[in-house]
Amino acid sequence: MAEEAVLGYLENNEEISDSGNFAEVKGISHDELVNVIKSLNGFRLVDAQDIKREKWVLTNEGELYAKYGSPEVQLFLAVPPEGITREELQKIVASRLPDDIEEKLKSSMFKIGSTQAIKNKWIEMGKLKVSRKVQHVEDRVKELLVQIQAGEAVGSEDIDALKRRKLITPQTWKGYSVKKGPKYAPKRKKVATDLTRENLQRGEWKELEFKEYNFLAKGQPTEGGCLHPLLKVRRQIKMIFLQMGFEEMPTNNFVESSFWNFDALFQPQQHPARDSHDTFFLKEPATTRRLPEDYVARVKKIHESGGYGSRGYGYDWKREESDKNLLRTHTTAVSSRMLYALAQGGFAPKRYYSIDRVFRNEAVDRTHLAEFHQIEGLICDRGLTLGHLIGVLEDFFSRLGMSELKFKPAYNPYTEPSMEIFSYHEGLQKWVEVGNSGMFRPEMLLPMGLPQDVQVIAWGLSLERPTMILYGIDNIRDLFGHKVDLSLIKRNPICRIGL
Ligand code: PHE
């Protein structure tokens, strides 16, 4: 309807000089008209020029005065011919104010009203009494405000005065002047978007007008091609390991026996981590079927009475305990299998890594889940020292963007010495623990059959921790598990540039 009005009008007239007036005359909303003009202008049916006009609109305070009268008149009317005390006047003015006035404004009404009324020489404030100086006043302020509301012209002096009292404020009105465009037609032709078989058969293609391609239009956002942040960081860390010459260990067994998860790592059978409060044990199948018997015998011996210069723990080692199946509590279980295998095949120096899931029977909270992903790295070679471990860790973590590291002595049953790794976090402005590390004990390595002069340096960390830091996620349940918002994945592009 607005479109017909514009095109129809231009058929017989030079221009629509002001879209505001035009909308009013035609009885259409200006917003609707503007949309039509923009569209017609886009298709060059019309030529539209912006016009801007400053106009005055009432502030909230101005609206109130326009409705109820100015405070100076209110105040004047409250002064009886014989005069009144200030306190009483204040009370009357307050009691006459309408309810819908803001509290803040209410309390200032008396002050504004009296100041203006004195300035206008309407009243006099003596020591004891307030009295009238004139008998009759007119509410000029209210009149002016009502005129402005109605869009009527008001003199510049009056405008200045109202502006100073913050009763009106300027507003820019935007509209258009419209002329015929190069493609003007009294009616918009429907343009074809497709050339059909019928168009060709009937010869319509000769007359048809086709819609032009819009090469600037944006396409639909793609649904695919996104990876979960954990997968992205996993890939990034995998690349770091590969660049450092590490091979991946096979981690495709969540179920592990206590033997490989604990005993092979010289973790005594009374160790609290081996309690069902910390570890998930399997009911079915509850025990492992096969273990390398001669190696089991050497592990039993090292726990009970030691060997290779160690005194062992001096307790009764039980086979039933090591047969128990569990969900692996760390990927160090995989490392122990790999090192054992390496010792059987004839030793060669190796760099191994893995990134996979581990399970712990923990109370779930903002930063803990009962399952998470562990990153594990190890190097076995002759003549390795703690210095090598520190050097490798500094190389590894600096590739992740953590170049400032601190080490703190720690304890693991399978490493000596052991170190916790801390990194300075710029965002959090503090040192945060990022991993655990150490040199595997001879009590672990020698029963496997590794040569005496071989050392293994190793470290482990969670995948979740650096991912949460890198992506600014503070609740682990937003990152992993059934509460994860799919849009987290869709929001993050397939590559993450920088750290
Ligand atoms: N297994 C340790 C953990 O779960 C990590 C670790 C790996 C520590 C290798 C030292 C050496 O925290």
Tell me how far the alpha carbon of residue 243 lies from the centroid of ligand 1, in angstroms.
22
Contacts with 277 (C-beta within 8 Å, 6 or more apart), sequence order: 361
Q: CB 497: neighbour CB atoms within 10 A?
A: 5
Cα 483 to ligand 1 centroid, rounded to whole Å:
29
- Bridge partners (DSSP) of residue 287 are 324
The 8-class DSSP code of residue 286 comes to -
Q: Does domain 230-491 have CATH number 3.30.70.1230?
A: no
Q: What is the rounded distance in angstroms from the CA atom of residue 444 to the CA atom of residue 264?
A: 6
**How many angstroms separate the CA atoms of 43 and 37, rounded?**
10
Comparing CA positions, the residue from 463, 458, 495, 461 lying closest to residue 479 is 463
Q: Which of 249, 260, 327, 332 to mutate to test the pocket of ligand 1 (most atoms within 8 A of CB)?
A: 332
pLDDT of residue 494: 66
Residue among 436, 440, 445, 459 whose CB has most ligand 1 atoms within 8 A, to mutate: 436
Distance CA 331, CA 460 (A): 8
Between the CA of 413 and the centroid of ligand 1 the distance, in Å, is 10
What pLDDT score does 483 carry?
Answer: 84
Distance between Cα 180 and ligand 1 center (Å): 78
Distance CA 188, CA 44 (A): 11
- Return the residue whose CA atom lies nearest to atom 8 of ligand 1: 437
**Strand, helix or coil at 248?**
strand
For residue 378, give the ligand 1 atom closest to its CA: 9
Contact 113, 93 (CB under 8 A): yes
Atom of ligand 1 nearest to the CA of 436: 8
Please report which helix (H) or strand (E) contains residue 494, including its range.
none
436 residue type, one letter:
N
Give the distance (Å) from ligand 1 centre to CA of residue 438. Answer: 8
State whether the Cα torsion 58-60-62-65 is positive or negative: positive
Atom of ligand 1 lying closest to residue 374 CA: 4
Mutate to test the pocket of ligand 1, among 251, 262, 330, 416 (most ligand atoms within 8 A of CB): 330
> Residue 9's closest CA among 177, 220, 173, 252?
177
> How far apart are the CA of 460 and the centre of ligand 1, in A?
4
User: Is the separation of the CB atoms in 33 and 19 below 8 Å?
Assistant: yes
Atom of ligand 1 nearest to the CA of 376: 7
Ligand 1, atom 10, residue with closest C-alpha: 437
Of ligand 1's atoms, which has the minimum distance to the CA of residue 329? 4
Beta bridge partners of 132: 123
Residue with CA at minimum distance from ligand 1 atom 2:
460
In whole angstroms, give the CA distance from residue 436 to residue 173. Answer: 66
Contact 389, 439 (CB under 8 A): yes
Own/partner contacts of 399-407, CB < 8 Å, gap of 24 or more, are 399/240, 399/243, 399/244, 400/236, 400/237, 400/240, 400/466, 400/499, 401/499, 402/434, 406/431, 407/437
Domain locations along the chain: 60-168, 230-491
Q: What does the pLDDT read at residue 287? A: 97
Q: Contact at 8 Å (CB) between 389 and 380?
A: no
**Residue 496 is encoded by which pair of tokens?**
């993450």
CB 458 within 8 A of CB 332: yes
CA of 301 relative to ligand 1 center, distance in Å = 24
Ligand 1 atom, smallest distance to 332 CA: 1
Q: Name the residue at shortest CA distance from atom 4 of ligand 1.
A: 330
Three-class DSSP category at 449: coil
Q: What is the pLDDT of residues 233-265, one digit of tens each?
A: 999 999 999 999 999 999 999 999 999 999 999
Asked if residue 451 has a cis previous peptide bond (ω within 30° of 0), the answer is no
332 CA distance to ligand 1 middle (Å): 6
* Residue with CA closest to ligand 1 atom 5: 460
CA atoms within 13 A on the CB side of 17: 1
- Residues with beta carbon inside 6 Å of ligand 1? 330, 332, 376, 412, 415, 436-438, 458-460
The tokens 């258009």 sit on which residue?
Answer: 176
- How far, in Å, CA of 5 to CA of 186, rounded? 10
Does the global pTM surpass 0.75?
no
Tokens, residue 91:
């009370």
Distance between Cα 437 and ligand 1 center (Å): 6
Residues whose CB is less than 8 angstroms from the CB of residue 62 and which lie 6 or more positions away in sequence, other chains included: 145, 148, 162, 166, 167, 168
Residue 297 per-residue DSSP state: H
The residue whose two tokens read 């008998």 is: 135
User: Count of alpha carbons within 13 Å of 378, Cβ hemisphere only?
Assistant: 27
Angle at 307 between CA 302 and CA 310, to 5 degrees: 90
Q: Where are the alpha helices (DSSP H) in 182-227?
A: 197-201
Q: Are 11 and 184 in contact (CB under 8 A)?
A: no
Low-confidence ranges of the chain (pLDDT < 70): 493-499
Residue in 356, 380, 412 to alter for ligand 1 test, most ligand atoms within 8 A of Cβ: 412
User: What is the distance between the alpha carbons of residues 224 and 488, in angstroms, rounded to a whole number?
Assistant: 13
* Cα(199)–Cα(182) distance, integer angstroms: 27
Do residues 167 and 58 lie in contact, with contact meaning Cβ atoms separated by under 8 Å? yes
Whether the Cβ atoms of residue 468 and residue 432 lie closer than 8 Å to each other: no
* Cα angle 100-106-111, degrees, rounded to a multiple of 5: 150
